[in-house]
A and B are shown apart, each in its own frame.
Chain A
Amino acid sequence: MRALSLTVLALHVAACGGLDNTPLRFGVIRGVVKEPTADSLVFVEEAPTRHSRPGADGRFELTSVPQGEVTLVVLASPLRAERQRVSVGGAMVAELGSVGAAAGVPVEFEVSVPSRQRREGAVFEVAGVPLSQRVERGEVQLALPSGCLPVRVSLRGLGDVEREVCVERERREVRFALPPPDGSPGREGCPVTGCDDGYTCRSSGACE
């Protein structure tokens, strides 16, 4: 056993170079989102870190996508969204052509905050991917493909709320109520969020 260990050690010392299969275990997805908007988003459902915002011409490219069968989610516009199964080959490019033409299920997301605090700056994330849309009047219009996706809303000073949103065919409204401030880090309340006009921020973090 010791001799075998010494042999392996000697071989290890004598070995040089290396063969790396890592780049061969991932592929690329390319395509064009039809009639893209500034808020269009494409991501791999199984690996949401692999996401892309199409350019003005709708072209997108997702790199380092694990080889095999994956689900591509396309959020094209407030009315169009789709899921698509894509076969990704190692070190290969999957050319999809035009995507995002299918009608999605419109969903109206509303953010409610306690005690007249300002909600501008709230951020929506779908499957961990931040949307580019910013909440202004507390509402976001979005089309989702049928099925379920995790949606998270966060606002500095009031924390976050996450929920799985499932849609089929009918339009939906989904309300996310952010919790009241409690003074803990990230939930300081109005010292961070500010108050609507005419209201004053109290030391409790609430607006009055």
Chain B
Amino acid sequence: MSRFILIACLALACAHAPLEKGAVVVQLRQGQADGAFAGRRFALLVAVAEAKDDRWRALRFANKDVEDLARVLRDPQGGRYDRVTTLTQPAQTTRSALLEAVRALGAEATRADDIVVLYVSAHGTLARDGRGELERYLVTADADFTAPSQTALAVSELQRAFAALPSKRRVLVLATCHSGGGKSLLSDEVSKELASLKGPVRPLEEASRAAITLSAADFGEPAREDEGLQNDVYTHFLVEALSGLGDRNGDGAVTATEAHDHARRKTWAFSNGRQRPSAEVLEVGADPIVLAGALRREGRPELFSYAQRLDGFALKIDGEERASLPGGAAVTPGRHLVELTKGADLLVREELSLEVGQRLDLDELVARQEPDTAVSVLAGGFVFIDEKSRAEVLPGGPTVGASLRFERLFGTGLAAQLDGSGFGGGATLSLGGAPIPFTWVAAQGGVSVGWQWRWRAGSAWAGARVAGLWVQRSFSLEGYSGRQAAFSMMPGAWLGGAVHLSRHWELSLNLEPMLSLLTVDGAPRAMGFLSGWAAMGYRF
């Protein structure tokens, strides 16, 4: 908005202001004004080819990786970066020098819409940190093989420094690995420890908001240099993507996720599946981080997902596999049959009409197709929390009923539930003498609203609730016969969770602590009331 105000002011000044002595007429083209206010692009490219400890063998192509990447980023037809800084000399790539360079980057890239790329090509290693937790380290020029936690640069520390930059469009590319193969070397101790672990180990650090961390290899997989490519494999294909080949949707710009998807797919194929680059991405729906080129037109429709729960699913368009998730694919505008499959499992099959410029998050598509309403039959019980009320009002008893739960209200995590239950039976009161028998009938109807956390296997919720409780007691005794009834509104809490037994069936538990107020012996009495039940529900 401010740029339009400035242009408007300049235009008005030109149109109406008389040319007084000393006044200067400024001819400002639209492109110049845009340039003055567009986010700038900064890159800090680091290659640690050699460490002082020669047990980490020298990386042959680390410096070339940086040079190739710098070239494509500086290219006026490519990355169009305002400033590209390369650090390749040992004195520039010590632990402290690297952190200082990141801080200096923050002094230049001061605006939230500045794009900042930090690329590191180096050895990686693993070691226990000061708290005894396994940590990833970048082997800096001054790293000591015998004491990496004291001398090398922890990835988490680098990420913290990077996250402190004012920019909200940050990309951290780690062309390294920590598996003990390829571009990493582990101490014997850590190697043995890793060998004893079963299954994948992912000490993932928190990704910053609107930031992307791209790794040349997933945890436990080696990142490799290749003689034929004369590069780190992932970096080679990342440079290729930034040179324009990564522009999946043809809009003229290569975004961070497009570049990574291109490099990831090519690396995977080139390494015959031995190297699987990973990404930690937030806010990919907007993906505002343009690494190269510029938006010149609306791109082809894109379908993508970086949600962890869809990892490994294949995206099929019109029956043809187009991408493996995480990742995405661009398609021609029009109607397409979209499928998400994993082996024989079909998660989504829907015909969609896709328009130019549309970006469809497959995770949202999956969520849209998931049932968001559950109708259940329930069985449980209720009880007054305090002993006096149990003795003098009603000891509590079983309930049966039904509930109706609505999820994803307003497209958010809000959920609401309506429920009704009731039951009756016999019980006794204890008023100081012999137990007094009676029969009772109770009914409860409630409305609950809360926040729901959802997973593939189930969900949990917590919120507020208000319910009405009606209780009737009937006495048929020698000394007294009669019916008594009372009604109370009850505010309280709504807690629970559900386990998905199948796509449509669920088993849920609800716990509802509430406050009731009933007139007992002519005086109002506030009593804690606890209702709990299990339910078998059908989701649709």
Mark A residues whose CB is within 8 Å of B: 7-8, 10-12, 14-28, 67-68, 87-93
- The reply to whether B518 and A19 contact each other, CB–CB distance below 8 Å, is yes
Question: Considering the complex, which residues of chain B in the window 485-517 have a beta carbon less than 8 Å from any beta carbon of chain A?
Answer: 485-491, 515-517
- The reply to whether A23 and B479 contact each other, CB–CB distance below 8 Å, is yes
Question: Considering the complex, which residues of chain B in the window 353-387 have a beta carbon less than 8 Å from any beta carbon of chain A?
Answer: none
Residue of A with least CB distance to B468: A14
Interface of A is mostly: mixed
- The reply to whether A19 and B471 contact each other, CB–CB distance below 8 Å, is yes
Interface: B475 (CB within 8 A): yes
Q: Which residues of B contact A21 (CB under 8 A)?
A: 392, 429, 431, 520-521
Residue of B with least CB distance to A30: B478
Q: How far, in whole Å, are A61 and B490 apart by their CA atoms in the complex? A: 44
- The reply to whether B517 and A15 contact each other, CB–CB distance below 8 Å, is yes
Interface: B33 (CB within 8 A): no
CB within 8 Å for A12 and B517 given contacts A19-B486, A25-B432, A93-B478: yes
Interface: B436 (CB within 8 A): yes
- The reply to whether A91 and B436 contact each other, CB–CB distance below 8 Å, is yes
- The reply to whether A92 and B478 contact each other, CB–CB distance below 8 Å, is yes
Interface: B1 (CB within 8 A): no
- Could you tell me the distance in whole angstroms from the C-beta of B4 to the nearest C-beta in chain A? 48
Q: How far, in whole Å, are A18 and B526 apart by their CA atoms in the complex? A: 13
Mark B residues whose CB is within 8 Å of A: 392-393, 429, 431-434, 436, 471, 473, 475, 477-480, 482, 484-491, 515-522, 524, 526
CB within 8 Å for A27 and B479 given contacts A12-B517, A15-B518: yes
Residue of B with least CB distance to A13: B489
Q: How far, in whole Å, are A142 and B516 apart by their CA atoms in the complex? A: 57
3 closest A-B pairs by CB: A18-B519, A67-B433, A91-B480
- The reply to whether B521 and A20 contact each other, CB–CB distance below 8 Å, is yes
Q: Which residues of B contact A22 (CB under 8 A)?
A: 521
- Could you tell me the distance in whole angstroms from the C-beta of A1 to the nearest C-beta in chain B? 14
Q: Which residues of A contact B491 (CB under 8 A)?
A: 7, 11
- The reply to whether A18 and B477 contact each other, CB–CB distance below 8 Å, is no
Q: Which residues of A contact B524 (CB under 8 A)?
A: 8, 12, 15
- The reply to whether B519 and A19 contact each other, CB–CB distance below 8 Å, is yes
> Contact check: which of B473, B475, B480, B489 meets A15 at CB < 8 Å?
B489
> Contact check: which of B432, B436, B479, B488 meets A14 at CB < 8 Å?
B488
> Contact check: which of A18, A87, A89, A92 meets B518 at CB < 8 Å?
A18
- The reply to whether A92 and B477 contact each other, CB–CB distance below 8 Å, is yes
Q: How far, in whole Å, are A185 and B485 apart by their CA atoms in the complex? A: 52
Q: How far, in whole Å, are A152 and B27 apart by their CA atoms in the complex? A: 122
Supply 16 further A-B pairs (C-beta < 8 A) apart from A7-B491, A18-B486, A23-B482.
Answer: A14-B488, A19-B485, A19-B518, A19-B521, A20-B520, A20-B521, A23-B475, A24-B429, A24-B436, A67-B432, A68-B432, A89-B479, A90-B433, A91-B479, A92-B477, A92-B478
- Could you tell me the distance in whole angstroms from the C-beta of B418 to the nearest C-beta in chain A? 19
Q: Which residues of B contact A25 (CB under 8 A)?
A: 431-433
Q: Which residues of A contact B517 (CB under 8 A)?
A: 8, 11-12, 15
- Could you tell me the distance in whole angstroms from the C-beta of B182 to the nearest C-beta in chain A? 62
- The reply to whether B486 and A15 contact each other, CB–CB distance below 8 Å, is yes
Q: Which residues of B contact A18 (CB under 8 A)?
A: 484, 486, 518-520, 522
CB pairs A–B below 8 angstroms (26 shown): A7-B491, A11-B489, A11-B490, A11-B515, A11-B516, A11-B517, A12-B517, A15-B519, A18-B486, A18-B520, A19-B520, A20-B484, A20-B522, A21-B431, A22-B521, A23-B479, A23-B480, A87-B434, A89-B434, A89-B436, A90-B434, A91-B477, A91-B480, A92-B434, A92-B479, A93-B479
Q: Which residues of A contact B392 (CB under 8 A)?
A: 21
Residue of A with least CB distance to B433: A67
- Could you tell me the distance in whole angstroms from the C-beta of B445 to the nearest C-beta in chain A? 13
Q: How far, in whole Å, are A93 and B509 apart by their CA atoms in the complex? A: 46
Q: Which residues of A contact B486 (CB under 8 A)?
A: 15-19
Q: How far, in whole Å, are A92 and B479 apart by their CA atoms in the complex? A: 5
- The reply to whether A90 and B526 contact each other, CB–CB distance below 8 Å, is no
- Could you tell me the distance in whole angstroms from the C-beta of A15 to the nearest C-beta in chain B? 5
Residue of B with least CB distance to A16: B487
Residue of A with least CB distance to B430: A90
- Could you tell me the distance in whole angstroms from the C-beta of B370 to the nearest C-beta in chain A? 37
- The reply to whether A19 and B393 contact each other, CB–CB distance below 8 Å, is yes
- The reply to whether A19 and B473 contact each other, CB–CB distance below 8 Å, is yes
Q: Which residues of A contact B434 (CB under 8 A)?
A: 67, 87, 89-90, 92
Q: How far, in whole Å, are A62 and B515 apart by their CA atoms in the complex? A: 41
Residue of A with least CB distance to B438: A24
Q: How far, in whole Å, are A90 and B519 apart by their CA atoms in the complex? A: 20
CB within 8 Å for A17 and B485 given contacts A23-B479, A92-B479: yes
Q: How far, in whole Å, are A28 and B481 apart by their CA atoms in the complex? A: 13
- Could you tell me the distance in whole angstroms from the C-beta of B453 to the nearest C-beta in chain A? 28
Counting chain A CB atoms within 10 Å of each CB, which of B431, B480, B482, B485 scores highest?
A: B480
- Could you tell me the distance in whole angstroms from the C-beta of A31 to the nearest C-beta in chain B? 14
- Could you tell me the distance in whole angstroms from the C-beta of A159 to the nearest C-beta in chain B? 40
Residue of A with least CB distance to B477: A91
> Contact check: which of A27, A88, A91 meets B475 at CB < 8 Å?
A91
Q: Which residues of B contact A88 (CB under 8 A)?
A: 433
Q: Which residues of A contact B490 (CB under 8 A)?
A: 11
Residue of A with least CB distance to B470: A17
- The reply to whether A7 and B479 contact each other, CB–CB distance below 8 Å, is no
